[in-house]
A and B are shown apart, each in its own frame.
Chain A
């Protein structure tokens, strides 16, 4: 049995939604960070599926760009998270309440 492209696209959309909703409702900064990665990888799946569907190699090569960008974001993001939560026991976004108004 082979699955059509729509299944993969639906899976990607579901993963992307889980990532987006998770980012908005979870309070742990590391989990929020993982949600961003989930969203980016859902996009990768979409790219690859469309590349297959359109029979166009371009879409597959885009995934490499996304992977590089995701890696760069991890480096910077983890650096920022460590610099903030170095002196705290848990990394929750509720503690970030200095700036508001």
Chain B
């Protein structure tokens, strides 16, 4: 009897239509996941230890595969993006730009991590599995067309990063970094989620184009819920990109996490966070610009100032780089605040340049560090130029690039975002950005001075530093990128500008 009733009810309902999944468009995201699963499979099936670097090479290959797939997708969408998987994701130039950036971070991160993990006795597939899954989450954020997809991407990115931060279980600082990152990260995710719920309640949809269309059609009489939702979204993403005043976790986590993880986290999490910020605020809440721009203005000023000033007083290089990454987030926020095509293109250029600068810097930090991820004090860099001239030269280039010295990508990145701020008539913001860059130059140059000054007399000779092959390749790539595109920026700038046009 009941069976009959169910059968009748089933006949009356329309058939369930399964959404079409465009795997070719999703290939850049699927490839890292496949790589991660393959690593897990091989790692558990292999009876003997594979040759050194086997796991890392799967990580590198997955990253390169993702990059190649992104290239094909980019070629495919020259005439405009399209929606895929039941409108859950949007395949456009903007998303593909971030996918490519994160894929670069995977390749460089795997190269740097390989020798480090063997030195610390942590070699195994798990590290690369987590890194690849985390990257796939970041890429999902970049192509999200729905706030819930954005949230899922955020969580896939973050949960894997929590584990990576605590990967060095034997080291108390690493465990502490993991728990601090976990508690504050989950807190920010919950705020972000509440923001989604409020925006959904106010607009009736979680799909970004529908929200934008609703806001364009209707003027809300009382938009308190919508504004609260927007503010919570800003706070949640602000945590991820380490904008002041949501930056409290950054120095501790960057210092405590294993150095290659810090480099990857700094690059990938920031890229994914900014992908979300730009897509949600610039392209969805366009009609509410007057409401969010002043808030982003204040965040940008606080972020560049606090990041630069606090970095000056640090004696730990990893901690200093953490504050410097905060100040970089401030410059990217300046690009968002400008809210024009140049500002967004500038922020994208900044992110790609920053990815290579920061991964190069952390590659050197990894090489200079001693077993147990110690030896990050500024004092450990004294006389580095005498011991390893090439290493000291590379670090100098990365530091100068981060300071914004001409003929590096870092200079052009700062130039483009500040020019966009001037164009948007945010003169005060542009001025403070430039002043903060002057303050920031101090602590970057301080490390350089330490590297090129001689070790004090009577000091015990520092141990010889070995540069593993993987780190060497990563350093070559990052150095070449930073200098070549610092002199000839047009290919990257065109890439960033086209990405902006296509979203």
Q: Which residues of A are in contact with B by a Cβ distance under 8 Å?
A: 9, 16, 19-20, 23, 29, 32-33, 36, 39-40, 42-43, 46-47, 49-50, 53-54, 56, 58-59, 62, 65-66, 69, 72-73, 76-77, 79-81, 83-84, 93, 96, 98-101
A-B CB contacts (within 8 Å), total count:
110
Beta-carbon contacts under 8 Å, B107-136 to A? none
Known A46-B201, A73-B155; contact A39-B194, beta-carbon cutoff 8 A: yes
Contact of A19 (CB < 8 Å), options: B172, B190, B316:
B190
Question: Would B319 and A50 count as touching, CB distance under 8 A?
Answer: no
> Is B155 a contact partner of A80 (Cβ separation < 8 A)?
no
Nearest chain B residue, comparing its CB with the CB of A41: B190
| Minimum C-beta distance from B372 to chain A (A) | 13
Stretch touching chain A among B159-167, B354-362, B403-411: B159-167
Minimum CB–CB distance from B307 to chain A (whole Å) comes to: 15
Asked if B151 CB lies within 8 Å of chain A CBs, one says: yes
Name the 6 nearest CB pairs between A and B, nearest first. A39-B190, A50-B201, A99-B252, A46-B197, A36-B186, A69-B155
Asked whether, in the complex, the Cβ of B194 is within 8 Å of the Cβ of A101, the reply is no
* A80 touching B179, Cβ below 8 Å: yes
Question: Cβ of B182 and Cβ of A80 under 8 Å apart?
Answer: yes
Q: Which residues of B are found within 8 Å of A62, using beta-carbon distances?
A: 148, 196, 200, 206
A44 to B257, alpha carbons, bound, how many Å?
32
**A32 vs B14: C-alpha distance when bound (angstroms):** 45
B194 contacts which of A46, A65, A100 (Cβ < 8 Å)?
A: A46
Residues of B within 8 A of A93 (CB): 179, 183
Interface size on B, residues (CB 8 A): 41
Return A31 CB to nearest CB of chain B, in Å.
11
CB-CB under 8 A from A36, the residues of chain B are 183, 186-187, 190
B348 → chain A, closest Cβ, in Å? Answer: 28
Q: List 25 A-B contacts (CB under 8 A).
A: A9-B201, A16-B194, A20-B187, A33-B183, A46-B201, A47-B197, A50-B197, A50-B200, A54-B204, A66-B193, A73-B159, A76-B159, A76-B162, A77-B162, A80-B162, A80-B163, A80-B166, A80-B182, A96-B176, A98-B256, A99-B176, A99-B251, A99-B252, A101-B314, A101-B319
Contact present for B251 and A101 (CB under 8 Å): yes
Complex Cα spacing A99 to B204, Å: 44
Q: Is B148 within 8 A of A53, CB to CB? A: no
Q: Which chain A residue shows the least CB distance to B155?
A: A69
Residues of B within 8 A of A96 (CB): 176, 179-180
Chain A residues with CB under 8 A of B186:
36, 73, 77
Q: A96–B173 Cα gap in the complex (Å)?
A: 9
A40 to chain B, nearest CB (A): 6
Which of A43, A54, A56, A76 lies in contact with B182, CB distance below 8 A?
A76
B240-278 contact mask (Cβ, 8 Å, vs A): 1 or 0: 000000000001100110000000000000000000000
B198 to chain A, nearest CB (A): 7
A13 vs B252: C-alpha distance when bound (angstroms): 31
Residue pair B193, A59 in contact (C-beta under 8 Å): no
Say whether B152 faces chain A, with CB atoms less than 8 Å apart. Answer: yes
Please indicate which of the listed interface residues B189, B191, B198, B201 has the most CB atoms of chain A within 10 Å of its own CB.
B201
Q: Does B205 contact A (CB under 8 A)?
A: yes
Does the CB pair A81–B197 fall under 8 Å? Answer: no
Q: Which of A19, A39, A81 sits near B179, CB closer than 8 Å?
A: A81
